[in-house]
Amino acid sequence: MQYELIAKRYIKPLMQSCDQTSLDNLAVLLTSLAKAYESEKFNLIMHSNEVSSAEKCQLVLDIVSSVGSTIVNNLIKLLAENGRLSLIPAIADQLTREIGRSKRTFSGRIYSNSVVDQASVETIARDLGTKMGATIALSYVASDFDGVRVEVDDLNVEINFSKNRLNAQMVEHILKAI
């Protein structure tokens, strides 16, 4: 959470100074750069006290040198200057989310203990997107939830259909009818 708040400070000026195409390209670049942080060797270098901040900065600049973007280079230098190169994955994630918000495109997940086929996932995504006035992409995640739960974090939407809750409500309704 703390990284997200700090990342937003870097994203805001980027959102104001870049056009949509540049932002999209920047998000793709930062997301691919963030994948380097998944490597154990890369993290050892980035967190080593034996490697200077300038060397860490140069390593990251070398990774993105083929793009030749002054915006990216300046961002990386600024992050290195403030000792925040480790924020790159959070910045990539937050930038992608902000671009999604501006385009009203969101992603979410469907949790269930029974398999939900792709056609059902697409139908739920389309119907929920229509209801919310947005484009929503959902992915199925197998879980131990007894029913179906749909979550779209950026819209603060969570919908539950629990078998236990449905049974309890049916029993309650029958008892009221008696």
Distance CA 141, CA 115 (A): 9
For residue 138, the enclosing domain spans 104-177
Asked which of 83, 100, 117 is the last residue of a domain, the reply is 100
Question: Is the same domain home to 85 and 109?
Answer: no
The CATH number of whichever domain residue 59 belongs to comes to 1.10.520.20
Instruction: Please state whether the predicted TM-score (pTM) of the whole model is above 0.85.
Output: no
Q: Which of 66, 83, 100 is the last residue of a domain?
A: 100
**How far are the Cα atoms of 154, 156, 159 from residue 133, in angstroms, in the given order?**
14, 14, 17
Can you give the pLDDT at residue 1? 59
The helix-helix angle for 53-63 and 40-47 (nearest 10°) equals 140
- For 14, 47, 83, 87, 140, the CA distances from 52, given in Å and listed in that order, are 27, 10, 11, 17, 43
Residues of the chain with pLDDT below 70 are: 1
Asked whether residue 64 falls in the same domain as residue 95, the answer is: yes
* Residue where a domain stops, chosen among 100, 120, 153: 100
